[in-house]
Structure 1
């Protein structure tokens, strides 16, 4: 294999490619905010979300300590893009005004998406998203020195999926060949291509990764039985 030299650069952002998440949260007046983001990763039944400290989603998560992480498929890129440059904050924060953001009260209507009730948290799920995870906030950590970004550690209480992405013949497995997440890389939308190489890690049964948060989720009041469709 030919050796290629590296070049030192200083890009303004380091978004090398992560799934898009639509976070639904509850506003002070009991209306719903829906916001796209892509600074998220998962460990077991927990996720870490990187959010601007002054965003409406951040304010709602800090106040209510709950939300829903809706994962759109690549087919929902147009709907997600309708939420670009919008904010649930009124007035619009100065930093977002500078970037051209504007206030939208009903984000579901603007995106053309459908809210459906959650089972363990107040904010609704997005019906069109193939994956929706009801979460509660476990911890909040400042990121950087200027206080402009917060990292939320959230715990998943319930996972909902469309039947079309569930692995045939299993109760609780996702078929990675049928799940096509919407991915953002350097502010542009992409999908996934086919598997490029067999994975040695895929030989490990998923059940060996199951942690105590799954048993904890089963004890949440109102949590539906696995396999129940709502």
Structure 2
């Protein structure tokens, strides 16, 4: 069968859902669901829109916590999906139905858990939590003068990793049992786990994917 050339509005091929917590200027916590994250050794690279409260918080205090969502957290992720900590809501997000939410922990029915080394809190319901320090960031799309800096890539150093005992590999102090850890994946605005589409409809799937094109092209 021949290949067909297409032009997707976004390339969310499939990454784990991360609930990233940061600290607002007034000291309150912010939670941002995202999936533009990849891992190498004890570092992670994160793609974040510069207009977001998350990006501004990371630039200001250089800290974040990466809380990995598991397959049983669809409801909470959906409650966070179209929220922002920015007020007024940027036009781009307002057109997608985003609303400003001050207390995202309460809104998403999640439990705040203090970090071990100070800074933003962890999400207690997440089975994996990583406390991080921002060590570098880059303005993306530097080849497009009118888009440069719209997206930022952050490199973070993972300082502390916390996991529930239920996903640890028996007999080992520092290993994860891959058969017991069931992360949630974001694949073209749908939520998946173990190769299967999760039953609860994704809130992000209600957004016309063509609306993303204005940001990335």
Cα displacement (A) at 1:95: 1.4
Work out whether 1:47 is the aligned partner of 2:49. Answer: no
Residues 77-116 of structure 1 correspond to what in structure 2 (within 5 A)?
A: 77-116=74-113
**Conservation of the 8 A alpha-carbon contact between 1:121 and 1:135:** no
CA contact (8 A) 1:67 1:121 kept: no
SS of residue in 2 equivalent to 1:83? helix
The answer (yes or no) to whether the contact 1:18–1:184 under 8 Å persists in 2 is: yes
What runs of 5+ residues in structure 1 fail to find an aligned partner?
Answer: 195-230
Number of residue pairs matched by the alignment = 191
> What residue is the counterpart of 1:184 in the other structure?
186
- When normalised by structure 1's length, the TM-score is 0.81
1:23-62 Cα distance to aligned partner (Å, 9 max, x none): 0000000000011000000000000000001000000000
Q: Where does residue 21 of structure 2 map in the other structure?
A: 24
The structure 2 residue matched to 1:5, chosen from 2, 5, 10, is 2
**2:72 matched to 1:75?**
yes
Structure 2: how far apart are the matches of 1:11 and 1:106? 34
1:162-177 correspondence runs (5 A): 162-177=164-179
Paired residue secondary structure (1:78): helix
Distance in 2 of aligned mates of 1:56 and 1:96: 12
CA positional deviation for 1:193: 4.4
1:141 has 2:143 as partner: no
- Give the TM-score normalised by the residue count of structure 2: 0.86
Unaligned runs of 5+ in 2: 197-217
The structure 1 segments of at least 4 consecutive aligned residues displaced by more than 2 Å after TM superposition are: none
Give the corresponding residue for 1:151. Answer: 153
SS of the aligned residue for 1:150 comes to strand
